[in-house]
């Protein structure tokens, strides 16, 4: 029996949450340890992270199907989504405070507010970066806690999602660093150039690591004794998802950007095309993992369905296969 747990909005929620976490985490690391004193060049990446958080929360509410009672996520003690939503809210609040500290560079009317917040800007980004790290790990842990899904219930998945989140965060910062509302000076340009050089090297390492973890996880499941996990892995390797996996994710999402990073230097391919492909690959990864949702039957489940009245059984069947017509 095929059990369809989540729809595409959850995949987008996981991608955007991980992307926002990666941006905030890397911005905090660079602002604190690499180029302290040039926080304004990370204002636009932080703004992108905020937008990702907002859109991601919208997709989460859409998937829950009951926007009016979204607040109940925080009242369910056993809900893993509660922790993710909490991390997102805290990260968003401190990221917004950080952004407001530099808003006067674009709109002088906010000068008083920005001057008040500016002394604590580094602290705001550190807190946002810490919870960004929590968000990155959570996006993989959220799936790995569902033990009935053998393809998800592996410690490799949180590692894979965290590496992918940092990699997509690198790509987003490369595409946006030094943008609005930062005032461009010679010093800030030099600082941004240094960040780009380091991110270039970091993303090469991350893409290689992601490729190794991804292939190891999929190929190990293909040879595993668990029938459900093996079927899911074989669907990726040579089944219905093979084209998306080998061409979309492995080739265009990882290998091609890797070659551009290594051989492109400061070319447009390395600075623009490669990051865009990394972002697309990260999004595709979440879609494929979320949709690989065949799971083992819960003890007694088949017996329960066999005892369900026929009209109720038809309802359950339509609901499971995403044909909710009610």
Most confident range, picked from 3-7, 88-92, 139-143, 232-236: 88-92
**270 neighbors 260 (Cβ within 8 angstroms):** yes
pLDDT over 60 at 318, yes or no: no
Question: What is d(CA 175, CA 172) in angstroms, rounded to the nearest whole number?
Answer: 5
pLDDT over 90 at 200, yes or no: yes
Give residue-wise pLDDT tens across range 99-129: 988 887 667 766 678 788 889 999 999 999 9
Positive or negative torsion for Cα 49, 55, 59, 60 = positive
Question: What is d(CA 98, CA 128) in angstroms, rounded to the nearest whole number?
Answer: 9
Question: What is d(CA 98, CA 122) in angstroms, rounded to the nearest whole number?
Answer: 8
**pLDDT reported for residue 145:** 74
Per-residue pLDDT band for 307 (boundaries 50, 70, 90) equals low
Most confident range, picked from 75-84, 145-154, 155-164, 261-270: 155-164
Question: What is d(CA 151, CA 237) in angstroms, rounded to the nearest whole number?
Answer: 14
DSSP string, 145-186: T-TT-TTT-STHHHHHHHHHHHHHHHHHHHHHTT-TTPPP-H
Positive or negative torsion for Cα 26, 31, 32, 35 = positive
Domains of the chain: 8-295 (1.20.1630.10)
**183 neighbors 189 (Cβ within 8 angstroms):** no
Picking from 91, 172, 95, 173, the residue whose alpha carbon sits closest to that of residue 133 is 91
Helix (H) or strand (E) holding 11: helix 8-29
**pLDDT reported for residue 321:** 47
pLDDT over 60 at 176, yes or no: yes
Model confidence, pTM: 0.86
Most confident range, picked from 62-71, 188-197, 200-209: 200-209
Q: What tokens were used for 67?
A: 């926007």
DSSP string, 12-39: HHHHHHHHHHHHHHHHHHIIIIISTT-G
């980004």: which residue's tokens?
125
Average pLDDT of the chain is 83
**pLDDT reported for residue 299:** 58
């Amino acid at each position: 029996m095929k059990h369809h747990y989540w729809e595409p909005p959850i995949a987008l929620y996981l991608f955007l949450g991980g992307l926002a976490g990666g941006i905030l985490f890397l911005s905090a690391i660079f602002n604190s340890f690499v180029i302290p004193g040039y926080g304004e060049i990370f204002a636009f990446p932080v703004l992108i992270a905020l937008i990702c958080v907002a859109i991601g929360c919208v997709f989460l509410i859409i998937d829950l199907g009951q926007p009016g009672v979204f607040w109940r996520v925080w009242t369910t003690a056993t809900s893993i989504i509660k922790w993710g939503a909490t991390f997102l809210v805290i990260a968003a609040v401190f990221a917004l405070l950080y952004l407001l500290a530099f808003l006067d560079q674009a709109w002088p009317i906010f000068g008083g507010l920005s001057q008040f917040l500016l002394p604590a800007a580094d602290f705001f980004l550190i807190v946002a970066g810490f919870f960004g790290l929590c968000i990155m790990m959570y996006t993989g842990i959220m799936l790995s806690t569902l033990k009935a899904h053998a393809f998800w219930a592996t410690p490799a998945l949180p590692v894979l999602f965290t590496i992918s989140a940092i990699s997509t965060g690198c790509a987003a910062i490369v595409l946006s660093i030094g943008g609005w509302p930062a005032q461009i000076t010679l010093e800030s340009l030099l600082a941004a150039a240094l960040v780009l050089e380091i991110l270039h090297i970091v993303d090469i390492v991350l893409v290689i690591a992601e490729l190794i973890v991804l292939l190891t996880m999929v190929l190990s499941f293909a040879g595993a004794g668990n029938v459900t996990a093996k079927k899911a892995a074989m669907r990726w390797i040579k089944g219905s998802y093979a084209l998306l996996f080998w061409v979309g994710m492995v080739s265009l999402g990882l290998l091609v950007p890797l070659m551009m990073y290594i051989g492109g230097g400061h070319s447009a391919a390395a600075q623009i095309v490669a990051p865009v492909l990394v972002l697309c690959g990260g999004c595709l990864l979440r879609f494929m993992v979320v949709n690989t949702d065949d799971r083992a039957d819960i003890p007694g489940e088949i017996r329960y369905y066999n005892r369900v009245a026929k009209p109720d059984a038809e309802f359950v069947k339509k609901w499971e296969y995403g044909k909710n017509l009610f």
